[in-house]
Structure 1
Amino acid sequence: MNVLNITDQLPLVDKTPLDPHFLALNAQAAAAAFIAAGTAANTVRSYRSALAYWSAWLHLRYGQNLGDAPLPATVAVQFVLDHLARPLADGGWAHLLPPWIDAALVAARVKAKLGPLAYNTVNHRLSVIGKWHRINEWDSPTEASALKTLLRDARKAQTRQGVAVRKKTAVVLEPLQALLATCTDGARGARDRALLLLAWSGGGRRRSEVVGLQVGDVRKLDDDTWLYTLGVTKTDTGGVRREKPLRGPAAQALAAWLEVAPTDSGPLFRRLYKGGKVGTSGLSTDQVARIVQRRAKVAGLVGDWAAHSLRSGFVTEAGRQGVPLGEVMAMTEHRSVATVMGYFQSGSLLTSRATTLLTSTGISPIDSDESVNSDSDPE
């Protein structure tokens, strides 16, 4: 299929009215398929946002409603062309989304700002629409070879133009220590220290997993070891409860937090109010991200920090310290080796002999200007 011939199955429309209330209901109905399939709640929230965007874009671009029928591959191709910027010969960038549709999407609050979307955002929304089709037992438009070729070429083009795929900065050991050093502010510091160490040392837990933990999910094994229990997660929706260890500083930090905020039930990590008063309601996933970002700012760390920085940092540091990949995945519960390997390899390469080949030859660096200029004329 020629990716430029994209109007042969669904005609484009000039303009169509946008009913935000209907679109919200349309997206909600689409997300119900994921709920019925047992998808983790936090993932459903992410998918609902993506489906709301698909619902609005499809209605504006084609005058059709999401869920009326399976989408043809040509629509997925159009989605990419509309949202991914491509470099032009004059050094500029272009994408095919009509300005009036762009403005309508922003006005409907399904799009943050005018302009193209990041590659990762487009890729995520394609992944969501593909999964949604499979749940509905429809052929997925994202499996078309033309779409895969287009995405591959688009990524290459952006890379050649210096547009890097954005990744959060990994919290390896040194930045983790810097974050923890800021946790000296009473009850808030005790909570944040316990949260950071559980999320990191406990296997790089996702923020949804951290906020989902209840006081009853943790138990003390000995003075140096606690166990915490995971239930339903993003990659394990069967509900089988699995225990993970917390040892050393992580165990001690958890014990210290429970001394500051003793309780028999409820969320493990709770909100704090003025004067360090501990509330009864649990943290949200956004608040976990803000804790990481706030601590990084106080510590003076440069980087793009987020809750995911703890997960990627755990895997990167494990590779750095030579922990076998199987043991790492047993802690993180990654299902895909490909997903975890990028972080793991970047860490393991830091201690690889392949990075010190010059040093092993005994060749010393040039230390003085004299040796560099020994054959040059005097000034």
Structure 2
Amino acid sequence: MPSETEKSTSAPSDELDDARVDESDQEKSDGIALPSHVAGSGSLDRLVDTARDYARAAASDNTLKAYAKDWAHFARWCRVRGVEPLPPSPEMIGLYLADLASGSGPSPSQSTFGPQSASRPLSVSTIDRRLSGLAWNYAQRGFTLDRKNRHIATVLAGIKRKHARPQVQKEAILAEDILAMVASLPFDLRGLRDRAILLLGYAGGLRRSEIVSLDVHKDDTPDSGGWIEIFDKGALLTLNAKTGWREVEIGRGSKDQTCPVHALEQWLHFAKIDFGPIFVGTSRDG
């Protein structure tokens, strides 16, 4: 019988082991290498490194982190139940999806010793994301996960039919709504920043992630999502969007109070920002 100390520490230890194994697997699963029959050389090895960099850039850092967690969770789930995650088994993945949806089984984060409590059921969107994460991880390890296999597809279809919630259509924000928001802001540093964010985001139709990742100049920061150039007639935003780089032109407004370019200039001037991220946090006293 395991001691009380072993009981209390087995789960965290297993989670650490999962993390280490996952990191090791990730290092081995770049999938980009020279063919076995081709001898390496300095130029070819450099091209392999370049190709690996491009392969890593195929998904965002947040997506890769989420996929790594998905794999660690599934690997732990398999080990608790005495099965191996490799090679892919559509039957076991179907059972895994059913467990995620129902919350009927013990949580994989718990110790294998002692009483087990049911895990929390996950939403359909999270389950779908978990499945995408598994498919990506299997591909990096040289396997193909057939999501159309009946053991996976029919279970997922049933989960969506039984648990999916109808999508709530958000009401679009109109120009008068933005003006009302801007009018409520004070003229301290935080107010100047929020005014620039609202007006710039609305005028350019920008995502939140695009707004917060803007830099003053090109290549100011390694993880820059874009930069902005200000001209007499307006501003040009160069953005690293999901589908690649794109440019957004924003003209000056007829009134300074509602002009996105003027609001941006005011924020940059009074916040004394001339390098790096455009929008940063402010303290209570400015």
Does the 8 A contact of 2:87 with 2:143 survive in 1? yes
1:259 corresponds to 2:269 = yes
Unaligned runs of 5+ in 1: 1-16, 86-94, 106-112, 277-379
Question: Per the alignment, do residues 139 and 272 of structure 1 end up closer, same or farther by CA in structure 2, a change over 3 Å counting?
Answer: same
Question: Is the counterpart of residue 49 in structure 1 residue 54 in structure 2?
Answer: no
* Residue of structure 1 equivalent to 2:22: 27
Q: Which of residues 193, 203, 207 in structure 2 aligns to 1:191?
A: 193
- Provide Cα deviations, 1:204-256, integer angstroms capped at 9, x if missing partner: 3252x333221112111334x2111123x4443xxxx4322223433232222
Q: How does 1:1-379 map to 2 (within 5 A)?
A: 18=11, 19-29=14-24, 36-38=55-57, 39-64=59-84, 69-85=86-102, 95-96=103-104, 98-99=105-106, 101=107, 104=110, 114-159=119-164, 164-165=165-166, 169=170, 172-173=173-174, 176-184=178-186, 186-207=188-209, 209-216=210-217, 217-223=227-233, 225-231=234-240, 233-236=241-244, 241-247=245-251, 248=253, 249-276=259-286
The aligned amino acid for 1:221 is: F
The change in CA–CA distance for 1:178 and 1:168 in structure 2 (over 3 A counts) is farther
Per-residue Cα deviation, 1:241-296 (whole angstroms, up to 9, x for no partner)? 432222343323222221222332111111212311xxxxxxxxxxxxxxxxxxxx
Does the 8 Å contact 2:196/2:267 carry over to 1? yes
Could you list the per-position Cα deviations for residues 52-95 of structure 1 after superposition, in whole angstroms to 9, with x for gaps in the alignment?
Answer: 3233323323453x5xx33211122011110113xxxxxxxxx4
Q: Deviations over 1:71-126 (max 9, x none)?
A: 211122011110113xxxxxxxxx43x23x35618xxxxxxx94211111111111
Cα contact 1:127–1:142 (8 A) shared by 2: no
| Cα distance in 2 between the residues matched to 1:264 and 1:243 | 21
What code does the residue aligned with 1:24 have?
A
* Residues 268 and 274, structure 2, Cα contact 8 Å, conserved in 1: no
Find the aligned partners of 2:82 and 2:187 in 1 and give their Cα distance. 55
1:31, 1:44 within 8 Å by CA — same for their partners in 2? Answer: no
C-alpha contact (below 8 Å) 2:73/2:108 kept by paired residues = no
Cα separation, 2, equivalents of 1:63 and 1:146:
17
Q: Contact between 1:214 and 1:268, CA under 8 Å: does it hold in 2?
A: yes
Residues 42 and 242 from structure 1, CA distance in 2 versus in 1: closer, same or farther, beyond 3 angstroms?
same
CA displacement 1:284-313 (0-9 Å, x = unmatched): xxxxxxxxxxxxxxxxxxxxxxxxxxxxxx
Would you say the 8 A contact 1:213–1:267 is kept in 2? Answer: yes
| TM-score, length of structure 1 as denominator length | 0.52
Paired with 2:239 and 2:202, the residues of 1 have a C-alpha distance of 15
Q: Percent identity?
A: 26
Deviating runs (4+, > 6 A) in structure 1?
none
Q: Which amino acid aligns with 1:54?
A: F
CA RMSD of aligned residues (A): 3.1
Q: TM-score, structure 2 length as denominator?
A: 0.67
> Aligned to 2:110, what secondary structure does the other structure show?
helix
Q: Which consecutive residues of structure 2, in runs of 5 or more, have no partner in the other structure? A: 1-9, 31-52, 112-117, 218-226, 254-258
1:142 deviates by 2.6
SS at match of 1:228: strand
Secondary structure of the equivalent of 1:271? coil
Give the partner amino acid of 2:173.
Answer: V
Separation in structure 1 between the aligned mates of residue 130 and residue 140 of structure 2, nearest angstrom: 15
Q: Distance in 1 between matches of 2:93 and 2:203?
A: 40
- Deviation, 1:178, is 4.9
Instruction: Please give the alpha-carbon distance, in whole angstroms, between the structure 2 residues aligned to 1:218 and 1:52.
Output: 39
Q: 1:49 to 1:203 in 2, by over 3 A?
A: farther
